[in-house]
Amino acid sequence: MSLEIYLPVALLSMTTMLLAWRQPRMHPAWHARVLAVLIGATALAVLGVLVFIIMIALGPLERTNATVLGRVLIGHEKVPSPVAAVVCAILLMIGVAVARTVAKWRRELRTTRALGTGVVADVRPFALAVPGRDGGVILSSGLVGMLSRRELEVVLRHEIAHMKHRHHLYLVIGTIATRIFPPLIYPHRALCYAVERWADEEAAVAVGDRTLTARTIARVALAQSPAAPGPSPALTGSHVSRRVLALMGQSPPDNRISGPVLLSGAWMATGSAISPALSHQASLLLVLL
Amino acid sequence: MSRRRLGQLEAEVLAVLAGAGGFLSPQEICDRLDGEPAYTTINTILFRLLDKQMVERTKHGRAYTYRLTADESGLAAERMFGHLRLAHDPSAVLSQFVHGLSPHEEAALRALLEDPGGET
């Protein structure tokens, strides 16, 4: 096995981790986009490597020496079968984990869509954005009761931003990527934060008051916390105080030029990192067929 | 701007009404939304909201004007949100306004809210 097939994964993971850790001073919208591309690409590269190892293990390499494409494969020694078995097991586990996550999402969407949009009776203050054609915003009566009209507008604008920019897709990409490659949980958390910040910034622009937006988030979070003794806070690693602090500071640069440049850079970088791995596989497939 | 889903438009109408405070005519609501949605669409949404008792209306000349229901107890909240876990910790597909707080964060937030410099 030559080490070069691991190179794209290593490079992509490092770039992704770096971007998640360093939190560049840019608009959260662009940070979220770049992170989603990098996280998705890293997961794809990992999957690619796993599939590749199995293909080498299965491939009848000796017969293909003569072809041009076969030469690509000569560099790779035969994979010992225990390794191939382990990789198979890993792939299977990934498949099961992804399937279970998707099934859970479908259940949740079905229950919330059946409920319909609008206000539901519940003392806990919460707001949910349900994506999709039958989606909308669900507000709890506890939330509506504790907020002023202007504060309610902040919450609505925040949820509208989630729906408008289809933030659930970013989070779906991130979550599936962590099922494929668990270390991606760190950049995934940065992605969750960036998406929330994105919606916060849109809400602040829409209501025209950053302080009001910050205070609304803080109030809702504080009202929620005693009623939520569950195990979730530590697990979700909520970023509420960081979000509030960020809103109390200056508004972020809108990155009208540097944002798109960085995003297309990320696309090209991931494309060039993944394509050798994928073309390896494509050639292998051709040889096998 | 692409065509908005009805649910999103409904939330936008609510946001406009919440921001305005008082009564607005459907035409005024249309004018305050981006992308100039059709008047009839807005009327449909207002009817649905009226049905859910989230807005109330009054006759203003020949047309109705709408505002957010003033009395929260009047909100049609008979639909219970029974899913305990879902409200605490919805997964990726459902975006929640805020997640729970750690005790440390709670203290930090209280300090922020009580900070006289941050008063509005």
Full pLDDT tens readout for chain A, 289 residues: 556 677 778 888 888 888 888 777 889 999 999 999 999 999 998 998 888 888 777 765 554 444 444 445 545 566 778 888 899 999 999 999 999 999 989 988 888 888 888 888 888 788 888 888 878 898 888 888 888 999 999 999 999 999 999 999 999 999 999 999 999 999 998 999 999 999 999 999 999 999 999 999 988 888 875 544 433 333 333 578 888 888 888 888 877 788 888 888 888 877 777 776 666 666 666 665 5
Q: Tell me the C-alpha distance between B89 and B93, whole Å.
A: 11
Q: Within a domain: residue B76? A: no
- For tokens 């099922």, what's the residue? A179
Question: Which of A240-254, B43-57, B105-119 shows the lowest mean pLDDT across its residues?
Answer: B105-119
- For residue B96, the surrounding DSSP H or E stretch is strand B95-96
What sign does the CA torsion over A109, A111, A112, A118 have? positive
> Based on the domain organization, do B66 and B88 belong to the same domain?
no
Q: Within a domain: residue B89? A: yes
Q: Within a domain: residue B106? A: yes
Instruction: Give the three-state DSSP class for A103.
Output: helix
> Based on the domain organization, do B16 and B38 belong to the same domain?
yes
- Please choose, from the candidates A97, A1, A82, the residue with its C-alpha nearest in 3D space to the C-alpha of residue A47: A97
Q: Are B81 and A111 in contact (CB under 8 A)?
A: no
Q: Within a domain: residue B12? A: yes
> Based on the domain organization, do B12 and B63 belong to the same domain?
yes
H helices present in chain A, as ranges? 7-22, 28-58, 68-74, 81-115, 141-146, 149-164, 167-180, 185-207, 210-224, 232-236, 240-248, 258-288
Q: Within a domain: residue B26? A: yes
Q: Within a domain: residue B45? A: yes
> Based on the domain organization, do B62 and B86 belong to the same domain?
no
Q: Within a domain: residue B23? A: yes
Q: Within a domain: residue B87? A: yes
Q: Tell me the C-alpha distance between A76 and A5, whole Å.
A: 10
Q: Is A215 exposed, middle or buried (0-12, 13-18, 19+ CB in 10 A)?
A: buried
> Based on the domain organization, do B63 and B101 belong to the same domain?
no
> Based on the domain organization, do B19 and B57 belong to the same domain?
yes
Interface of A with B in 232-251 (CB under 8 A): 232-236, 238, 240-241, 244-245, 248
Question: CB distance A118–B112 less than 8 Å?
Answer: no
> Based on the domain organization, do B10 and B66 belong to the same domain?
yes
**What CATH number does the domain containing B19 carry?**
1.10.10.10
Number of domains in chain B: 2
Give me the domain span that covers residue B42. Answer: 6-70
> Based on the domain organization, do B55 and B91 belong to the same domain?
no
Residues of B in contact with A212 (CB under 8 A): 120
Q: Which of A124, A156, A174 is facing B11, going by the closest CB pair? A: A156
> Based on the domain organization, do B51 and B106 belong to the same domain?
no
Q: Which of A112, A122, A159 is facing B97, going by the closest CB pair? A: A159
> Based on the domain organization, do B43 and B95 belong to the same domain?
no
Residues of B in contact with A119 (CB under 8 A): 52, 54, 75-77
- Please choose, from the candidates A264, A37, A221, A250, the residue with its C-alpha nearest in 3D space to the C-alpha of residue A124: A221
- Please choose, from the candidates A277, A93, A287, A240, the residue with its C-alpha nearest in 3D space to the C-alpha of residue B98: A240
> Based on the domain organization, do B47 and B86 belong to the same domain?
no
- For residue B37, the surrounding DSSP H or E stretch is none
Q: B34 touching A, CB under 8 A?
A: no
Give the number of beta-carbon pairs within 8 Å between A and B: 211
Q: Are A117 and B92 in contact (CB under 8 A)?
A: no
> Based on the domain organization, do B62 and B90 belong to the same domain?
no
